[in-house]
Amino acid sequence: MKSIQALRERRDALAKNLNNLLENHPGEKWTDVQQTAYDDGMREIDTISAEIQRHEGLMARLAADALNGDTDGLRNAVTRTPGAHSESTAGVRAYLMGGLNALSQEDLASLRERQTPDIRAAMSTTTGSEGGYTVATEYYRQLTEAMKLYGGIRQVARTIRTGTGAAMNFPAADATAEEGEIVGQNGPVNKADTSFENLSLEVYKYSSKSIAIPFELIQDGMFDIDAYIQALLAMRIGRITSRHFMVGSGNKQPMGLITAAQVGETLVAGASIDYDALIDLEHSVDPVYRARPNVGWMLNDKTLRDVRKIKDENKRPIFVPGYEQGNPGGAPDRLLNRPIHIVQEMPDVAPDALPIAFGDFGSYFIREVMDLTIFRMTDSAFTLNGQVGFVAFNRQGGNLIDVGGAVKTLKMGPVAG
């Protein structure tokens, strides 16, 4: 079996070949010979990409198995390496294994400094718990990096971190139609008021739901309990926040990107996505926004499968595979020469659905309150089963901070007939 690095290198080589093929055969130079070579290369890239995804998805699968009671795989994956943990994660580990009584005086002092009044209030009213542990900044940053694996929106949105959940408003104005004027000498200046509105970036309290761990694992010195908890938190909180950041209603949950964005192109009943529709969607976004660095396409993998088959007026594919993605000198997958962001929470192609977005995704703000708090529960519901329970709370929010149309969506037509 090839290593994942060898697979990536082979995929990158194929993608570079296809990039060269497209660049060297513009317009009428693109013939059936080039199309056959392109199709063969894409098939091999798809095969290799599928194998890479199987490698990269192993940890997520192990975490999912653990949720169903099979912890062997995840336990082996998070076997502790002595000396590999920082001081901040050592405090988390001590708390998870033994509660507040297991913390040193230095760790306890640091914990009290990180606790906010609402966390202290929750600690005093949580039945059967040993108090809440507010993790250090480093541990929280590690968690947010892990959560990126569960939501493509986090890769391109603008993330801001705050110490509290206080209300945060952004003044916004649509000044795209405003302009100045020429005035004569000593002439009066005309009045032009701009209408402002406030866009709020509220946060909502998310729970990991309860996590039960057998006594035997907690007592196992080689079991990396903080990495295990972090993997489950990343999966559970990462999944629900990623979904809300895309399609959240804004009613007692974040306002999703697709919910907030304007529709830029609407297809007629029964029409399929084609080259013209994508061009129209792209140009529905003002050129000022199209020039920004975070501009690209957003769709799920199922929709991409269909879009990849679209060709331009010269019968050349409009999809170009990327190579060495994430590395200097590399290139992402591109559609009409714009980067593609795969976000599985995007809607599928269906009547009246919004399956594709285009624009500056940096206009979507994700707000994270850095007060991730873990409670260790030792009540009878867990003890009788030979377990210790854990639950974590964290506050996050999101909204599209834009009124001028930085992101537009493609809307499918209604059912034909």
Residue pLDDT, tens place only, 89-114:
666 667 676 666 666 677 767 666 66
pLDDT band of 127, cuts 50, 70, 90: very low
Q: Which residue has the tokens 């007692």?
A: 252
CB 347 within 8 A of CB 247: yes
pLDDT at 307 over 90: yes
CB 141 within 8 A of CB 86: no
Q: Which residue has the tokens 């020429």?
A: 182
Cα 351 to Cα 415: distance, rounded to the nearest angstrom? 6
Kindly report the pTM of this predicted structure.
Answer: 0.73
Q: Which residue has the tokens 């801001």?
A: 160
Cα 67 to Cα 60: distance, rounded to the nearest angstrom? 11
Token pair for residue 123? Answer: 């600690």
Ramachandran sector of residue 181 (left: φ over 0; alpha: ψ -120 to 50; beta: rest): beta
Q: Which of 293, 401, 290, 407 is nearest to 346 (CA)?
A: 407
Residue pLDDT, tens place only, 262-294:
999 999 998 999 999 999 999 999 998 999 988
Residue pLDDT, tens place only, 71-95:
455 445 544 554 444 555 666 667 6
Cα 400 to Cα 407: distance, rounded to the nearest angstrom? 9
Task: Please give the C-alpha separations between residue 131 and each of 87, 91, 139, in angstroms, as whole numbers.
Answer: 21, 14, 18
Task: Compute CA 52 distance to the chain's CA centroid, rounded to the nearest angstrom.
Answer: 20
pLDDT at 327 over 70: no
Q: Which of 301, 157, 363, 164 is nearest to 242 (CA)?
A: 157
CB 394 within 8 A of CB 369: yes
Q: Which CATH superfamily is domain 57-173+194-300+343-417 in?
A: Major capsid protein gp5 (3.30.2400.10)
Residue pLDDT, tens place only, 24-42:
887 777 888 888 888 888 8
Cα 45 to Cα 51: distance, rounded to the nearest angstrom? 10
| Domain residue ranges of the chain, discontinuous segments joined by + | 57-173+194-300+343-417
Token pair for residue 256? Answer: 């999703």
